[in-house]
Structure 1
Amino acid sequence: MKRVNLAILAIFCYLSACAQPAADTNRYTRADSLRGGLRPERTSYDVLFYDLSLRVDPTSRTIEGSNVIRYSVVSAFQQMQVDLFANMTVRRITQNGKPLTYRRDGNAIFITMNEAQPVGQTREITISYEGSPTVAKNAPWDGGFVWQRDSVTNKPWVTVACEGTGASLWWPCKDHLSDEPDSMRIRVRVPNGLTCVSNGLLQGQRPVGPDQTEWSWFVHYPINSYNVTLNITDYAHFADEYRSPDGQRLQLDYYVLPVNLGKAKTHFEQVKGMLACYEQYFGKYPFWRDGYALVETPYWGMEHQSAIAYGNKYQNTPFNFDFIIIHESGHEYFGNSLSCADHAEMWIHEAFTTYAEALYMECTQGAARAQTYLNTQRPKIRNEYPMLGPLGVNADQPDTDIYYKGSWMLHTLRHAVNNDATWFAAIKALATEKKLSIVYTDEVIDFLTKRTGADLKPLFNQYLRHAELPVLEYQVVRTEANDWSIRHRWVANVQDFALPVQIRTGAGNWQTIRPGREWTTSSLGSAPGALTINTNIGLFGVRRLPTE
């Protein structure tokens, strides 16, 4: 797993979930608590390795196989929880070759151990299973398998995306973001003539019987459960490489429909420039040993670790980049390498990755163009729910503010720090020092606060824990000496919220005012002219009161 104290995290999640308003938790079910909660049946063991072996039958739309779960015993236990959707059939569960008894509670399986589980010891269980996994109604937003055919070759085209819905819709695992294996093996048998692309590094392929081929992949790094994937069709493959400024070479692999091979070779050239920009801002690509891959899928895209799902039909945005390549690759740094511990904290994945799109623009086209790009995100901000959800209940995000509001929050923090060298050093340190680790919200806040030397906690608390935007309330007043001043204050949920703001009068220079929660006054001079407030550098509302 990525190193995190499961016992402490369980207490943290329990207390945080209890602290949420009742309105947030009433809509969650027992199944949500079983999936999202950390109880002793989960925290008592730490997953070290998954060995997933499957046979996929595109004709019957079924899968069957097994998963070996190797784990370290954190605290002595008699029961452990593993997750697998109720529509999937468990054939048997064994330890040391002996059958184990188990009971189901919806999508959760509680397994009773036959033998003592001594603290610090390493143990394995094997779960054999089969079934027809959930079919996605609208992948990737609605999780499940996609069973299609290549319209040109008429060969099966099978993929899966399960973020939110859960990896346990198709394979048995501890389906909680707080625990990841240190590594994983994935072996998939498919009909001859088809390729199976999964995560990690291809170990090889071998015939199995007269009509099947087994593809074997190995993930050398921690991987969260929803990132585990498979992609099956008659893929055309080509390779390239990215060379880091220090000379190190990264393998790039592309798996596309044969009819798209020519356009893919041209279109995917932008990957190398993207990797160079992200290395500048976030450090080296974090899964170097496994390589980087794009795999064509019939759905739009998903950040599957080292095997990114690509279905954007080789189109660039008006800003001259492919959104899926730039966004989903950003998740390799934020979401796959640096990962949150609970679905309620998915802002960590999406805010930083959406902000990375703007940084890519700044890297390739300059700051002004990046600001233009950010301004296209701003109208999509809804301000209806806090970005930080209730913990411990497998929270789902009701809107897209964790993307666009999250991006603008980070843009605002950059200007609050008011020192780009400091800000970008802090962001890079977060990505590199927390690489391959699980983090939670307060840890991120504390890290950036310490590294920038700025008091960012009130700003984070306002944007993450409250739906409403802070509002700059101001009034232009004339003094007894016939000069002009601006009275200003912040109307915000957080008591110590404070954010510097740039203003200018007429065609003059920008000046910085520093409103607080109480009314204060700044001079505008003898002839203020039209007053402009720079809303390009901060996410806030503005309310002007009548002039006195």
Structure 2
Amino acid sequence: MNKKPLLKMCLLLFLPLSILAQKANTTLFTKADTLRGAITPERAWWNLLHYDIQVRPNLVEKTIQGAVSIRFKVLAKPKRMQIDLQQPLVIDSILYIGKTKQPLSFTREGNVAMVNMPNNLIVNMEGLVQVYYQGVPRAAIRAPWDGGISWTKDELGNPFVATSCQGLGASVWWPCKDHQYDEPENGVTISVRVPDTLMNVSNGRLINTVQHDDATKSWIWQVNEPINNYSVSMNIGKYIHMHDEYNGEAGKLSLDYYVLPQNKLGAERQFAQVKPMLECFEYWFGKYPFYKDGFKLVEVPYLGMEHQSNVAYGNKYMNGYLGRDLSGTGWGLKWDFIIVHESGHEWFGNNITSKDIADMWIHEGFTNYSETLFTQWLSGKEAGSAYNKGARKNIKNDKPILGIYNVHNTGSGDMYPKASAMLHSIRMSMNNDEKFRQLLRHLNKKFYHQIVTTPMIEKEISLYAGYSVKGIFAQYLTTTLVPSFDYKLSADGRTLSYRYSNAVNNFEMPLQVKTTNGVLVLKPKVKTWQTLRLTPSQAANLQLERLENYFYININGRKEVQIKMN
């Protein structure tokens, strides 16, 4: 008798809700998934300090060759070092740079190289490893969703090349420690050598260009602050440069735009939205997190991506999402989706980064909510709520938002609109916009340039909300159920009975109900009816059905019919 299925069933009885909610995900994970998604022993013993990336793409052959120097600090007794580089790229050699250059032996296991380190490494010392590599990197199939390198030409026939690798991983085009938990504390230097008729635009600030004898030029960019790997980008084209400045919370912020010359007029018109966007986001989220590295928009041959200090833009210089309003309300056509959404990631995703991609809702949910806040900034609070509600039509409730941890797995795409609806519901339950604003600013200050988890965010929101949001997080992040607010009104409209159903047991979200006598606060319990006797003014204009405009819940109510006896 095979006892393994029985053993697995017994273990399920002891799993917490957040794990049980993910049992619908029947993906079979492999050792390669663990190597990609876990903080393996070969990753844990060393801390990233700096990357120096030098690459030379061949735009005709669609190949790449380069060298990446990895500076690190020893945290514990060294083991082998895990370096990620996705096939079919090939590692030619790996050197340890000390007093002399020492070749290091390594073995390849799929997309991972396990490197045998020198014996003389001790805790707290710094080391430097140099990786030489070359080959044919993965070509993007449907960037940015199915990324890699986009080898394209612009409408004038000039090379137009860009990287996009969120989810897929930076190791698709350069060797690195490809996990979000560890960012290089001292930033990254990026040098890209291209034909001298073209320009490469990468993250941070341009610190040098080097003209070579073979009609090529190296463009050298320096990122001064920590950066997640997938944000590091290479963008090659026949660009022109436009410059501006923004007077922000931390002083003058440089604004640099790199666009194709034929799109200059469109860029001048569309990029006028950058300053209002920055003003809005600094008001709600706090100072722009990367003043040292500046803010850039760079035109790319795909829709867009949140590359830190170098936001990729491909929205065709039109409002909405390629001219469409994802909310279906009309409010989303008042602004450029890519400028607003991808720039919002500078605060949530780039400043605050999730430790595991299973928690990617922290990036996408808050950033999706930035669209609501910008709509409000332009058109008022009711417009913001209407946009947020309209975007709910994109919620599929196909599977939980949280992914499976330690295997490089993300949850449902509902991490965008549903997580945003959750945040709006929490904000409405607080009924204090200034306190909610201070919460968002607090998150960006407390976790400035840091790595976070869902429980860390939950804890901080609970402090500001004044009640535990644990049940709200469990409801919206780990189940596909939409809570129902059930109510019954007596025939005279004066007695209200109410409860939550279709919800986890600890789901507790106060509801702010507008009446002619101000706001009535209800605190429904799950499956337990509560009864409240209303004042005449409360009963006169009780707007229970309108709760759906502000909270992601279903309304299920009825009024009792008064029966007259002869």
* TM-score, L = length of structure 2: 0.89
How far has the Cα of 1:215 moved from its partner? 0.5
Correspondence list, 1:124-273, <5 A: 124-152=128-156, 154-182=157-185, 183-244=187-248, 248-273=251-276
Structure 1 residue 494 and structure 2 residue 504: aligned? Answer: yes
The size of the alignment, in residue pairs, is 527
Deviation readout 1:439-486 (Å, 9 max, x if unpaired): 1111111112123433222212221222212111223345xxx66423
Paired residue secondary structure (2:467): coil
How far has the Cα of 1:100 moved from its partner? 1.0
Correspondence list, 1:51-130, <5 A: 51-96=52-97, 97-130=101-134
How far has the Cα of 1:432 moved from its partner? 2.0
Judged with a 3 Å threshold, the aligned counterparts in structure 2 of structure 1 residues 290 and 491 are, in CA distance, closer, same or farther, namely: same
Give the whole-Å Cα distance in 2 for the aligned partners of 1:57 and 1:511.
Answer: 66
Are 2:289 and 2:347, in contact at CA under 8 Å, matched by a contact in 1? Answer: yes
Correspondence list, 1:143-542, <5 A: 143-152=147-156, 154-182=157-185, 183-244=187-248, 248-317=251-320, 318-319=330-331, 320-397=334-411, 399-478=412-491, 484-503=494-513, 511-517=520-526, 518-524=528-534, 532-533=544-545, 534-542=547-555
Are 2:510 and 2:523, in contact at CA under 8 Å, matched by a contact in 1? Answer: yes
Judged with a 3 Å threshold, the aligned counterparts in structure 2 of structure 1 residues 473 and 79 are, in CA distance, closer, same or farther, namely: same
Deviation readout 1:183-238 (Å, 9 max, x if unpaired): 11000100120100001110121112322100000000001010010000110111
After superposing the two structures, state which structure 1 stretch, 296-305 or 21-30, moved more.
Answer: 21-30
Give the whole-Å Cα distance in 1 for the aligned partners of 2:73 and 2:524.
Answer: 53
How far has the Cα of 1:502 moved from its partner? 4.4
* TM-score, L = length of structure 1: 0.91
Judged with a 3 Å threshold, the aligned counterparts in structure 2 of structure 1 residues 114 and 504 are, in CA distance, closer, same or farther, namely: closer
Give the whole-Å Cα distance in 2 for the aligned partners of 1:392 and 1:407.
Answer: 25
Deviation readout 1:48-91 (Å, 9 max, x if unpaired): 10011010110110110111111111111231111001210110
Deviation readout 1:424-446 (Å, 9 max, x if unpaired): 11111111221111111111111
Give the whole-Å Cα distance in 1 for the aligned partners of 2:514 and 2:452.
Answer: 40
Are 2:431 and 2:512, in contact at CA under 8 Å, matched by a contact in 1? Answer: no
Match of 2:6 in 1: none
Letter matched to residue 160 of structure 2: W
Deviation readout 1:142-169 (Å, 9 max, x if unpaired): 01110011112x1111101000111111
Are 1:206 and 1:214, in contact at CA under 8 Å, matched by a contact in 2? Answer: yes
Letter matched to residue 448 of structure 1: I
Give the whole-Å Cα distance in 2 for the aligned partners of 1:537 and 1:86.
Answer: 48
Paired residue secondary structure (1:409): helix
Are 2:513 and 2:542, in contact at CA under 8 Å, matched by a contact in 1? Answer: no
How far has the Cα of 1:487 moved from its partner? 2.1
How far has the Cα of 1:114 moved from its partner? 3.0
Judged with a 3 Å threshold, the aligned counterparts in structure 2 of structure 1 residues 219 and 17 are, in CA distance, closer, same or farther, namely: farther
Judged with a 3 Å threshold, the aligned counterparts in structure 2 of structure 1 residues 148 and 26 are, in CA distance, closer, same or farther, namely: closer
Are 2:147 and 2:164, in contact at CA under 8 Å, matched by a contact in 1? Answer: yes
Unmatched tracts of structure 2, length 5 or more: 1-14, 321-329, 562-566
Q: Percent identity?
A: 38
Give the whole-Å Cα distance in 2 for the aligned partners of 1:18 and 1:385.
Answer: 12
After superposing the two structures, state which structure 1 stretch, 510-519 or 277-286, moved more.
Answer: 510-519
Judged with a 3 Å threshold, the aligned counterparts in structure 2 of structure 1 residues 529 and 373 are, in CA distance, closer, same or farther, namely: closer
Are 1:485 and 1:525, in contact at CA under 8 Å, matched by a contact in 2? Answer: no
Paired residue secondary structure (1:81): strand
